[in-house]
């Protein structure tokens, strides 16, 4: 396959992916994972601590390249791209949500969401307009002008989700998005992710929370860097 295959309609296509961290001995975090994610899917990536979930999410997000095997993101071969083009690939095709939110504390909710478009060559006015729409989509229009530091944990995660979604990426990847929240706020985030998926967003959610996993139509299970279970593509 060429570096870019426009005929590949999968959002993510991983083939025999390995990630080995050098050391004595080397750590084989991901060992031969093959996985396809199609548009509109909502998939939970499950497994105990240390099973390679975050490593796999970083590879899917084009934040890292595989040691061997291939990761294709929206048809692009991540391993074949140099850093600058990889950054461009990320800016257009992925949104990422982390357990610890990573908001800019001194900025407002709206400004935080607008940063999700910084590398898109969109004017400031347009960034703010799209950010306002994304905040409405996560139920936070009334908090647009509040600084991130003044928001609750659940609200912060909503802002982070809006920031991930504002550029309408091919896929949003979330690493333990409810891990820092109380159960009520966590349930709200799960409901929101389901709703966004219902509106067409493609989501991969890394979690060891069974409530999150139960909300996902497809569940993929990792153990020691290997896929040991996949409930399968819905409708495939």
Under the rule (CB under 6 A), what is the footprint of ligand ADP? 21, 27, 29, 47, 49-55
Q: Which is nearer to ligand ADP, 132 or 206 (CB)?
A: 206
Residue 36 near which of ligand ADP, Mg ion, none (CB within 5-8 Å, type-dependent)? none
Work out how close the CB of 52 gets to Mg ion at its nearest, in angstroms, rounded to a whole number. Answer: 8
Q: Which residues of 12-28 are buried (b: 16+ CB within 10 A; e: fewer)?
A: bbbeebbbeeeeeeeeb
Tokens representing 38? 């199609």
Q: Which is nearer to Mg ion, 58 or 218 (CB)?
A: 58
Residue 55 near which of Mg ion, ligand ADP, none (CB within 5-8 Å, type-dependent)? ligand ADP
* Contact in structure between 51 and 220 (CB atoms under 8 Å): no
Work out how close the CB of 126 gets to ligand ADP at its nearest, in angstroms, rounded to a whole number. Answer: 36
Q: Which is nearer to Mg ion, 19 or 53 (CB)?
A: 53
Q: How far is the C-alpha of 94 from the C-alpha of 61, rounded, in Å?
A: 6
Q: In 3D, which of 136, 72, 80 has the Cα closest to residue 109?
A: 136
Work out how close the CB of 207 gets to ligand ADP at its nearest, in angstroms, rounded to a whole number. Answer: 10
Work out how close the CB of 25 gets to ligand ADP at its nearest, in angstroms, rounded to a whole number. Answer: 11
Q: Which is nearer to ligand ADP, 47 or 137 (CB)?
A: 47
Work out how close the CB of 81 gets to ligand ADP at its nearest, in angstroms, rounded to a whole number. Answer: 20
Q: Which is nearer to ligand ADP, 29 or 108 (CB)?
A: 29
Q: Which residue's CB atom is positioned nearest to Mg ion?
A: 54
The reply to whether omega before 25 is within 30° of 0 (cis) is yes
Work out how close the CB of 53 gets to Mg ion at its nearest, in angstroms, rounded to a whole number. Answer: 5
Q: Which residues bind Mg ion (CB under 5 A)?
A: 53-54
Residue 50 near which of ligand ADP, Mg ion, none (CB within 5-8 Å, type-dependent)? ligand ADP
Q: Which is nearer to Mg ion, 81 or 98 (CB)?
A: 98
Residue 137 near which of ligand ADP, Mg ion, none (CB within 5-8 Å, type-dependent)? none
């Amino acid at each position: 396959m060429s570096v870019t295959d426009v005929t590949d309609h999968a959002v993510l296509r991983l083939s025999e992916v390995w990630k080995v961290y050098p050391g004595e001995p080397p750590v084989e975090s991901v060992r031969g994972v093959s996985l396809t994610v199609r548009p509109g899917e909502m998939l939970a990536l499950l497994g105990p601590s240390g099973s390679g979930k975050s490593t796999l999410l970083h590879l899917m997000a084009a934040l890292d390249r595989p040691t061997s095997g291939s990761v294709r993101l929206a048809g692009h071969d991540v391993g074949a791209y140099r850093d600058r083009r990889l950054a461009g690939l990320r800016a257009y095709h992925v949104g990422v949500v982390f357990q610890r939110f990573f908001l800019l504390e001194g900025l407002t909710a709206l400004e935080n969401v607008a940063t999700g478009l910084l590398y898109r060559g969109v004017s400031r006015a347009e960034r703010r307009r799209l950010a306002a729409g994304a905040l409405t989509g996560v139920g936070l229009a009334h908090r647009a002008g509040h600084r991130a530091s003044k928001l609750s944990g659940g609200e912060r995660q909503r802002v982070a989700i809006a920031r991930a979604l504002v550029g309408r990426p091919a896929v949003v990847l979330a690493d333990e998005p409810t891990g820092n929240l109380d159960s009520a706020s966590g349930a709200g985030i799960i409901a929101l992710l389901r709703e966004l998926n219902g509106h067409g967003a493609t989501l991969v959610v890394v979690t060891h929370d069974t409530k999150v996993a139960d909300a996902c139509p497809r569940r993929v299970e990792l153990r020691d860097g290997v896929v040991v279970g996949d409930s399968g593509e819905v409708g495939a």
